[in-house]
Chains A and B, each alone.
Chain A
C-alpha cells in the first residue's frame, strides 16, 4: 500500500531564506507526483506536477524534484516571503489507480 510522508510537520523561517520541504513515498510505481498549497480554510491549489519520467519542474520561485527510485521529492522555495505561509501537501498517483495518495502536509510560516 502506497504511503506518503512529509517531514517536518511544521516549519518556521525568517523572510528571505531559501527552504526545502521533503516528501517521501513507499512505492516507486507512480504515474506522477504533485505539490499543492492549502491556505487556512481554503481548498488546495496545484503548484507543480512532475511526471514519473521527469526529474524536476520549475515555476517561478518554486522548484520540485523527483527521485523515483529512492521514493523522494523535494519542493525548493527561493527567497521566501510572508505570502508563502501555508500548508504544502504532496501527493502521488499510483500506477493503475485513479486516485491521489496524500501526505499529511508541512505547515510553513514565513516570519517578516
Chain B
C-alpha cells in the first residue's frame, strides 16, 4: 500500500493564480480531510469528506474548494491564490467506523508559496 500520497511536494504560485493539490489514498478509507500547518498556529482543518459525493467545511474553508468523486481521491483547489495561503498542506484519511478506528493517516505534505 502506498498509503496517502500528495502531489506536488512543492509549488510556487503568483497571487491570483489557481491550482489543484492532489491527494489519493489506497486504503479504502471513507473519511478524508485537508489541513494547513502554519508556524505558531498548529494544524487547522480546511475541508473534509465522509464519502464520495459528500464534503463539508472545516475551520478555514475560505478560498478553497473540494470535491470527492471517488473514494480514493480528494483534490483541494485554490481558486485565486493569496499570500495568506502560503502554508504546508496535509491530506489525511481514516476509516469511518467510529472513534475507536479513528487513527489518521497523513500524506507527506505540499509546501505552497504564494508570491
Chain A contact residues, CB within 8 Å of chain B? 4, 31-32, 34, 36, 41-46, 49, 51-52, 89, 91, 93, 98-100, 102-105
Contact = CB atoms under 8 A, between A and B. Distances in A.
B43 interface: yes
Contact of A100 (B4, B41, B45, B105): B45
Given A43-B108, A45-B106, A93 B43 contact: no
B99 A98 contact: no
B40 A98 contact: no
Contacts of B43: 44, 89, 91, 100, 102
B8 interface: no
B102 interface: yes
14 contacts: A32-B99, A34-B102, A43-B107, A43-B109, A44-B90, A46-B105, A49-B103, A51-B99, A93-B99, A99-B59, A100-B43, A100-B45, A102-B44, A105-B42
Main secondary structure of the interface of A (DSSP, over half): strand
B58 interface: yes
A100 B90 CA distance: 13
A28 to B, nearest CB: 15
